[in-house]
Chain A
Amino acid sequence: MAEAKFQKVETGGMNRRRKVLLIIAAGVLALAVISIWGACMDPAKYAPNYEARRLMPSLSHLFGTDHQGRDMFFRTICGLSTSIQIGLLSAVISSLVALFLGSLSAVFGGRVDTAVGFMVDLCMGVPHLILLMLISIAMGGGAAGVITGVAVTHWPNLTRVIRAEVLQVRSAQYVQIARKLGMSKWHIAAKHIVPHVFPQYLVGLILLFPHAILHEAAITFLGYGLPLDTPAVGVILAESMKHLATGMWWLAFFPGIALLLVTQLFDIVGDYLKILIDPHSARQ
């Protein structure tokens, strides 16, 4: 009887697990398709075509065209691709900084901990967007400036999380017991500490993408980021502002929605990944 009950619960769990896996896979696939499609796109697709200017969205131009007759759909895809790549690069750099500083802070404690805490406070004390702009301008603008800016300003939150996680697991009873059972430092680091911190790190990394992407778009929109000739969502949105008054609403509407959807996709992938690797929900 009890056996049968257990079996039933378990098959129910497999279905949910599969559903979660499916959602994650679909999210990752959609993001991969957009970034590869955009990166490999022939620039002729969104080149100016003065015979098709200011067209409303239609089947031949899904997102309409702008005042130079550029197809906004292909331009948006290309822009999103740029955003995803920049987001990916800067989120990875930021998260590695966070991993390094967070672990350093937790393992050494004392003055190292104070120093890292000071850096975190310093970075969080300055308004984020201002700091981003300053770094981007100091680096001479362009893609390099944006990536550096986004990468060196997104680590503080994750650093705090990782520091707390490492501290917690290091003092956990099961880790102390493992030491008393004669396990080596390497065994404890590899079997207890890394598996505890890595999922938090991974989820933190994925949840950094939307931040990085939105900040990239924001400083580009304000004119301190990517140059005007790159197809970027920030550039598209900034340009569209000039044409809103003439009634070309689609210039801002579709790229804005697309940017929102992409950031949401990252959020969804991150949240579902959390469900998947947390032991309290892993079997549900």
Chain B
Amino acid sequence: MAILEVKHVDFRYGSGPWILKDISFSVEEGERVAILGPSGYGKSSLAKVIAGYLQPQGGEVLWEGKPLPPSGFCPIQLIYQHPEKALNPRWKMKDSLEEAGVPSGEVLTEMGIQEKWYERWPNELSGGELQRFCVARVLKPETRLLICDEMTTMLDAINQAHIWNFVLSYAEKHNMTLLAITHNQYLADQVATRVLRIPELNHIQVDRSEL
């Protein structure tokens, strides 16, 4: 049975042009799916709709056959492209990391998080260092589906490989489902068991090459 079902989702911001039109697909438990597409095709908007940050104007997103719970720890967690926006600039790193409970020691070591970073402010760390905190804070047993929206774009190749390797092995070990959103064909082939191309998913009528 599919754990996540996206059914005929339509979305636009306010009364602007349609970003997503009639998107449908489903993901099985434990699967690793990549959504591949060039910039401007609504990948990030789709990620936010699935994770419940944005409400679709049409269609629905079902988690285990039901709509997402409105409160409590959400089983679908999203890792953003911009970690500097995902952390409160007035909180020290330790407080952000432990907002929803202390992550396990294994996660902290494998993500390469150093204890001397704990007492620093977000503006004192690099994008890559911040992203490790953002990933570590959601790698929890309650997270059943992890959406990685260009998660490692700001990292160098070695750190990208290291973080992805760990996230993949973590997903394997804890039977966590993965949805990777990327414009990188190579990365999609490496991490996913199934690749969905957003130009084929998104039934939008406008020819985007003219926009």
Contact = CB atoms under 8 A, between A and B. Distances in A.
B13 to A, nearest CB: 13
Contacts of B78: 180
Interface string A177-213: 1111111100000001001100000000000000000
A196 B89 CA distance: 9
Contacts of A196: 88, 90
Interface stretch (B56-64, B68-76, B168-176): B68-76
Interface of B: 51-53, 71-74, 77-78, 80, 82, 85-90, 96, 99-100, 121, 123-124, 137-138
Contact of A192 (B72, B73, B88): B88
Contacts of B82: 173
Interface stretch (A139-147, A157-165, A231-239, A276-284): A276-284
A66 to B, nearest CB: 52
A70 to B, nearest CB: 51
23 contacts: A172-B85, A172-B88, A173-B85, A173-B86, A174-B86, A174-B87, A174-B88, A174-B96, A177-B86, A178-B99, A180-B52, A180-B73, A180-B78, A181-B73, A181-B99, A182-B73, A184-B71, A196-B88, A279-B89, A279-B90, A279-B121, A280-B123, A283-B124
A17 to B, nearest CB: 14
Given A180-B52, A181-B99, A181-B100, A195 B90 contact: yes
Is chain B's interface secondary structure helix, strand, loop, or mixed overall?
A: loop
A280 B82 CA distance: 18
Given A173-B86, A174-B87, A279 B100 contact: no
A174 B85 contact: yes
A11 interface: no
Contacts of A283: 121, 124
A173 B89 CA distance: 11
Contacts of A176: 53
Specify the main secondary structure of chain A where it touches its partner.
helix
Contact of A173 (B52, B80, B90, B121): B80
B124 to A, nearest CB: 7
A280 B52 CA distance: 32
Contacts of B137: 181
Q: Which of A181, A182, A184, A195 has the most CB of B within 10 A?
A: A181
Counting contact residues on chain A (CB < 8 A from B), the size range is 20 to 34
Contacts of A172: 85, 88
B39 to A, nearest CB: 20
A175 B85 CA distance: 10
Interface of A: 172-184, 192, 195-196, 279-280, 282-283
Given A173-B85, A183-B99, A195-B90, A279 B123 contact: yes
Contacts of A192: 88
Nearest to A192: B88
Closest 6 A/B residue pairs (Cβ): A182-B73, A181-B100, A180-B74, A173-B85, A174-B88, A182-B72
Contacts of B100: 181-183
B91 to A, nearest CB: 8
Contacts of B90: 195-196, 279
Contacts of A280: 123
B21 to A, nearest CB: 25
B33 to A, nearest CB: 20
A179 B78 CA distance: 12
Given A174-B85, A283-B121, A182 B53 contact: no
B77 A180 contact: yes
Nearest to A181: B100
A181 B52 CA distance: 12
Contacts of B51: 180
Contacts of B124: 283
Contacts of A180: 51-53, 73-74, 77-78
A282 B121 contact: yes
Contacts of A182: 71-74, 100
A203 to B, nearest CB: 14
Given A174-B85, A183-B100, A283-B121, 14 more contacts: A172-B85, A173-B80, A174-B96, A178-B99, A179-B71, A180-B77, A181-B138, A182-B71, A184-B71, A192-B88, A195-B90, A279-B121, A279-B123, A283-B124
A40 B75 CA distance: 64
B78 to A, nearest CB: 7
Nearest to A178: B99
Contacts of B89: 279
Nearest to B73: A182
Nearest to A185: B71
